[in-house]
Amino acid sequence: MSVRSSARLRKFLASAALVALATPAVAGPLTDRIEAGQPIRIGFANEAPFAYPGDNGEPMGFVNAYTLGLLAEMGHEDIEVVVTDWGGLIPALNAGRVDIVTGGLNIMGSRCENVAFSEPFLMAGDAFIVPAGNPKGINTYQDLIDQDGVFVTGAGYNQVEIARREGVPDGQIMQVPGPTEILAALQAGRADAGGVTHFTAIEMTEDRDDLEVSDVTQLPEWTLNWASIAFRKDDQDFVDAFNQAQESYLGSNAMMAEVAEYGYGPDNIPTGQTAEWVCQNR
């Protein structure tokens, strides 16, 4: 972790309270909260290396590092953390229990109907986690269909929509809360492949002898994803300011220093795609 990150986390732990999702308060627009001296509440799940709570509840992962760094550039360092299940992130945002979702949401047309996305800051593909040696040869969604394989992924993950679009029957799709349950299903033999992002697949199979990452080069090109930060639609004024600050922050030395430890590199910087384009094409 960089010296700058360590200093920010110390300041965060000293000044920001960690709260549970059950907090009943309902917020107005984010700008109003900030002007009233209230903290910005960031919401994320336990999804390493994207975003996850550290040992003391502090926000870890490259999406949190990116978001906190950009917010600091904008002059916002009063942050409060809300950790919840992946499937509860967008509902929590629209119910006013969080102000920003930093969970690493891929931009999708279906999600664009419910939230306002900032311009993308991440370009990355998906992968399958399979048993060591990939005994059924599952590298694509068509392989799942041909092998009558069970596909396990997280509830609310974009991989559910992709699998259906590729023709995988719902009876072959198992939805679970998150990475821990995906691993459990694979280890118990209840699933033949687990669908996650390539980042997550590498993280989950590191130092394991029983599981490995599929050949990601065989997945359809259209499944490449762009991720960004999600806001409520009535906070578009803040999204505009966030996007403006991102123009100079994305890819800067300061940003890359913050995210490098989590595996984010130059190849993950979007190549000109806009949130509007991704919403229309994913």
- CATH number of the domain residue 204 falls in: 3.40.190.10
Tell me: the pLDDT tens digits for 164-223?
Answer: 999 999 999 999 999 999 999 999 999 999 999 998 999 999 999 999 999 998 998 888
- Are 132 and 75 part of one and the same domain? no
Taking alpha carbons only, the member of 113, 117, 82 closest to residue 98 is 82
- Are 105 and 14 part of one and the same domain? yes
- Are 34 and 151 part of one and the same domain? no
**pLDDT of 10 over the 50 cut:** no
Residue 133's CB: how many other CB atoms inside 10 A?
Answer: 9
Report how far Cα 21 is from the mean position of its chain's Cα atoms.
18
- Number of domains observed in the structure of the chain: 2
- Are 73 and 90 part of one and the same domain? yes
For residues 279 and 227, give the distance between their C-alpha atoms in angstroms, rounded to a whole number: 11
Q: Which residue has the higher pLDDT, 20 or 73?
A: 73
- Are 8 and 101 part of one and the same domain? yes
- Mean pLDDT for the stretch of residues 24-44: 83
Q: What are phi and psi of 97, to 5 degrees?
A: -90, -20
- Are 26 and 154 part of one and the same domain? no
- Are 216 and 151 part of one and the same domain? yes
Domain that holds residue 152: 126-223
- Are 8 and 119 part of one and the same domain? yes
For residues 226 and 216, give the distance between their C-alpha atoms in angstroms, rounded to a whole number: 16
pTM > 0.85: no
Among 204, 223, 242, the domain-final residue is 223
For residues 1 and 258, give the distance between their C-alpha atoms in angstroms, rounded to a whole number: 7
Among 223, 252, 271, the domain-final residue is 223
For residues 125 and 79, give the distance between their C-alpha atoms in angstroms, rounded to a whole number: 30
Provide the pLDDT for residue 222. Answer: 87
pLDDT confidence tier of residue 9, bands split at 50, 70 and 90 = low
**pLDDT of 62 over the 60 cut:** yes
- Are 93 and 119 part of one and the same domain? yes
- Are 206 and 263 part of one and the same domain? no
- Are 81 and 146 part of one and the same domain? no
For residues 48 and 5, give the distance between their C-alpha atoms in angstroms, rounded to a whole number: 17
Lowest mean pLDDT among 6-10, 84-88, 237-241: 6-10
Among 223, 254, 272, the domain-final residue is 223
- Are 211 and 254 part of one and the same domain? no
pLDDT confidence tier of residue 112, bands split at 50, 70 and 90 = very high
